[in-house]
Amino acid sequence: MQEINFFDYQFENNLNLIDINLNNNKDSKILLTNIKNIYLYSFLWTVITKDFYLFKDYERVYSNLKHQDHILNHQVELKKRLQLTNETKGNYFLLGGENNYWHLLINYLPRLICLNEINLSNTLVLINSDISEKFQQFILKIIKKMNLKDVKFIKINRINQLYKFENLFIPSNPSINFAYDFYDKIIGQFIDKKPIKNLYVKRGNVINRKVINENEVEKLLTKYNYEIIDCADLTVDEQINNFSIAKNVIIIHGASIANLLFVPNNINVVEIRSNIDGEFITKLNISNRFNLFQFNKTEKIGKKLRKDIIVNINELEKLILKNNIF
């Protein structure tokens, strides 16, 4: 089993490639191809060709380390299992998906634009079998807004991991720029963006990167007229509606930052950070749409890779007052 650059494989195998642009930005596009007799490792929603190649730069959502741990380190065993996998006949489209809000909004749902290029009357769309009800409802809303007809889903059990398909339509992993343009095109006209309220997005009851003194943070921000929300308790539409009328957002780093796709321009955003949080929020700040403050004055607690934090309340208040973030 070997990793390969997708475009090298495409050239060598003469694959058809459709290039879908939503504007003139070269960073805002998605690619679509279809490959016959191809395997799917559903746990990572990644494909393995019949000659046992992995694309390292195409549909991949998760880190290279995850591919190493889950696939390459077990390739002898996986090859044997793949060769015993029965082929599923027919045409399929790889949507994928999971219940992580960031991955769903950024990596998976923008792939729906590719359905405009496919004969939906004889193609089944592959989706995660345990996708939550509120995410299912949002997917159906997007499909309705796109005026797509005859979309038929087949739910895939990611735990089974290995499948083989006679013909699979495979989209590339959308960029954040493409995700922004996708939602702007499909639902932007239905979102009334007005900078009205201050919004604190709490971390809530989570496993990783807890805010140990979240009650103190809430007490401080209540003083400055912040409305406190927990995105886990809200539907996707409710999350979008809250962010679309925010004038100041203070948010703990996490999947909920994906909602910054929907905020008005020129608002203030404070990201409260733990360790190894990456620069996802800077990538979301497309064309510097909002004023971003990354707040690192937190004490990192515990032995986990992703630390819990204690927010420095005094420093947070100084930041708010100095920059009029209220």
Give the domain CATH number at 232: 3.40.50
pLDDT for the residue 209: 86
User: In the predicted model, is pLDDT for residue 306 greater than 90?
Assistant: no
Provide the residue range defining the domain that includes 111. Answer: 2-188
Q: What is the mean pLDDT of residues 66-81?
A: 93
Per-residue pLDDT of 213-271, as tens digits, reads 999 999 999 999 999 999 999 999 999 999 999 999 999 999 999 999 999 999 999 99
> Is 161 in the same domain as 75?
yes
Could you give the number of structural domains in the chain? 2
Residues 184 and 212 in one domain: no
Q: Which of 144, 172, 188 is the last residue of a domain?
A: 188
174 and 214 assigned to the same domain: no
* Domain co-membership, 304 together with 205: yes
Q: What is the pLDDT of residues 156-182, one digit of tens each?
A: 988 878 999 999 999 999 999 999 999
Q: Are residues 178 and 195 in the same domain?
A: no
Tell me what pLDDT residue 249 has: 98
User: Helix, strand or coil for residue 225?
Assistant: coil
Do 181 and 224 share a domain, yes or no? no
Over residues 48-54, the mean pLDDT reads 96
Tokens 């029965």 belong to 86
At residue 305 the predicted structure's pLDDT band, cuts being 50, 70 and 90, is confident
